[in-house]
Structure 1
Amino acid sequence: MPIITLTTDFGEKDHFVGAIKGAIYSESEDLKIVDITHHINPFNIQEAAYVLQNAYKSFPKGSIHIIGVDAELNPENKHIAVKLNEHYFIGADNGIITLLSSEFNPEKIVEINIHDRVESVFPVLDVFVKVAAHIARGGTLEVIGKLTTSLKPIKQLMPIVSADETQISGNVIYIDNYGNIVTNISKKLFNSIRQNRKFELSARNHKFNTIYDKYSDLVNFDLDDNKRDYDGKKLAIFNSQNNIEIAIYRSNLNTVGGASSLLGLDYRDTVSIKFIEG
């Protein structure tokens, strides 16, 4: 049996996650369930897409990913099941899967049409679980929906390059557990526009002219340990997902704080890069 993953904004206080898992096991006790996260900020589709995009590829081909973020059915938020990069995704057509498909074209998309057969006020529990179980049993997408080729256009934050290619304007799209700020500016975009020019990265009144490949590149290990004093220093890096990230070295939200709190940065805040000739 394939793995079913759960990515939601439900948190863990309420009954929702437990009920979903119970419903999955009621379909088949042989199914395997993996929680990716239940702590997406409410209705934050950009954050959900970022987390899922960087997690799903670690799962075996054929895995089924249920997305419980902004999932209420309405005329502008239809339910879809998508086969993408040999994985299955079940969720609302709200932009999350559009963001996921920026790397791979969907192999198949269906608009789910079993709602008349399933009474539901909680679609993740009543509809998405049924669809996931159907796929897990080897069922085809055409049985639970009508084929379509379109996904809802995404109007979320995307980096903008100036016409003369002297500046990239991006935004904060994610704040991780350490308080580090992840931007939507990729290493690929940065390198393609930079063309070996010097640059200045700005976030509020904070400036950076170096982007490291890992956190410890900040440290001069030739110095004696008691002379380094790098803890709490700010830096910019290309993170493991190759997005530009602003961080505090060895940050701890419970003591010194993180980049978000110490630098006054939050979701959607602007981060810009100016390229300098000569």
Structure 2
Amino acid sequence: MPIITLTTDFGEKDHYAGAVKGAIYTELADVKIVDISHSVSPFHITEAAYIIQNAYNSFPPGTIHIIGIDSELNPENKHIAVLLDGHYFICANNGIISMLANEINPEKIVEINIHNKIVTNFPVLDVFVKVACHIARGGTLEIIGKKIETIKQITGVKPAINIENGQIIGTVIYIDNYGNVISNITRATFEDVGKGRDFKVTARRASFTKIHSHYSDAINFDVPAEKRDEDGKKIALWNSSNYLELSIYKSNPATVGSAASLFGLEYRDTIVVKFD
């Protein structure tokens, strides 16, 4: 059974996500549809890229991923279908795929060219669904598009590295539902530049000299529970995607606050690692 995933900024209030699913089932009754997220911030390409980068490889090879972010067709925002790491991605050529393509070269990229056969002002519903169902039936990318060699890049995805000063200058690329702040500094980059040296991570009001592997690593479980200092415990860690993340232990943005609110961090704010 083919699998088609959906990642969009449609939200849960409107009809858009439901309409897309209905259109898929109309074309292919025997298909599995999985929602990755419909809560991407409107038109937030980097946020969508981070989410799809960290979700797609949990699915089996051959899965088809529809990404409905900033998908209106215009001369500067064409539509593409990409075969990468054994998965298919259908989206606008606006940089969303570039986070994946930084680490894994696409096997094939086509610019979708079936628009003259479809009248639409809702391309995710009318174009992306057609392409996804074509692929799910075993169709090739060449039938629905012309081959291209490159895709647009998202600016600011990679941190700046100053070897002479022993610095990595990164930025906030994502803030999750818990208010955790994810930077664009990967563990591989950190280890390559740092080479085991002492360091200090600085982000506005917060600083760290240790990076953990788990949230609970910051808690001393040898101390009785009633005597532990847990509330508001700040943590830097390598998250499950091996990005540098700044967090508050068991944070709740609606009550006790979060790393984003307590450290005063927002999307694209600077996070610096300075090595001794």
Q: Could you tell me how far 1:219 is from its partner in structure 2? A: 1.1
How far, CA to CA, are the matches of 2:165 and 2:71 in structure 1? 38
Structure 1 window deviating more from structure 2 (169-178 vs 253-262): it is 253-262
Equivalent runs, 1:22-171 vs 2, <5 Å: 22-164=22-164, 166-171=166-171
Q: Could you tell me how far 1:155 is from its partner in structure 2? A: 2.1
> For residue 168 of structure 1, what is the amino acid of its counterpart?
I
Q: Is the Cα–Cα contact under 8 Å of residues 163 and 193 in structure 2 kept in the other structure? A: no
Q: Is the Cα–Cα contact under 8 Å of residues 157 and 268 in structure 1 kept in the other structure? A: no
The alpha-carbon distance between structure 1 residues 234 and 176, as it changes in their structure 2 partners (threshold 3 A), is same
Aligned residues: 276
SS at match of 2:89: strand
- Deviations 1:121-156, CA, capped at 9 Å, x for gaps: 110000000000000001111110111111123324
Q: Could you tell me how far 1:157 is from its partner in structure 2? A: 3.7
The aligned counterpart of 1:238 is 238
How far, CA to CA, are the matches of 1:156 and 1:63 in structure 2? 28
How far, CA to CA, are the matches of 2:231 and 2:47 in structure 1? 28
TM-score, length of structure 2 as denominator length: 0.98
SS at match of 1:142: helix
Q: Could you tell me how far 1:207 is from its partner in structure 2? A: 1.0
SS at match of 1:105: coil
How far, CA to CA, are the matches of 2:66 and 2:96 in structure 1? 12
Q: Could you tell me how far 1:165 is from its partner in structure 2? A: 5.0
Q: Could you tell me how far 1:163 is from its partner in structure 2? A: 4.2
The aligned counterpart of 2:183 is 183
The gaps in structure 2 that reach 5 residues or longer are none
How far, CA to CA, are the matches of 1:208 and 1:152 in structure 2? 35
Q: Is the Cα–Cα contact under 8 Å of residues 213 and 237 in structure 1 kept in the other structure? A: yes
How far, CA to CA, are the matches of 2:165 and 2:21 in structure 1? 49
The gaps in structure 1 that reach 5 residues or longer are none
Q: Could you tell me how far 1:62 is from its partner in structure 2? A: 0.3
Structure 1 window deviating more from structure 2 (158-167 vs 206-215): it is 158-167
> For residue 95 of structure 1, what is the amino acid of its counterpart?
G
The aligned counterpart of 2:13 is 13
- Deviations 1:42-95, CA, capped at 9 Å, x for gaps: 111111111001100010110000000011111111100011111000001100
Q: Could you tell me how far 1:197 is from its partner in structure 2? A: 1.2
How far, CA to CA, are the matches of 2:107 and 2:259 in structure 1? 39
Q: CA RMSD in A?
A: 1.0
The aligned counterpart of 2:199 is 199
How far, CA to CA, are the matches of 1:76 and 1:116 in structure 2? 17
SS at match of 1:247: strand
Equivalent runs, 1:259-278 vs 2, <5 Å: 259-276=259-276
SS at match of 1:237: strand
The aligned counterpart of 1:215 is 215
Q: Could you tell me how far 1:178 is from its partner in structure 2? A: 0.8
Q: Is the Cα–Cα contact under 8 Å of residues 45 and 96 in structure 1 kept in the other structure? A: yes
Percent sequence identity over aligned pairs: 61
How far, CA to CA, are the matches of 1:75 and 1:165 in structure 2? 42
How far, CA to CA, are the matches of 1:75 and 1:155 in structure 2? 20
How far, CA to CA, are the matches of 2:107 and 2:92 in structure 1? 17
> For residue 232 of structure 1, what is the amino acid of its counterpart?
G
How far, CA to CA, are the matches of 1:96 and 1:76 in structure 2? 14
Residue 2 (1) aligns with residue 2 (2): yes
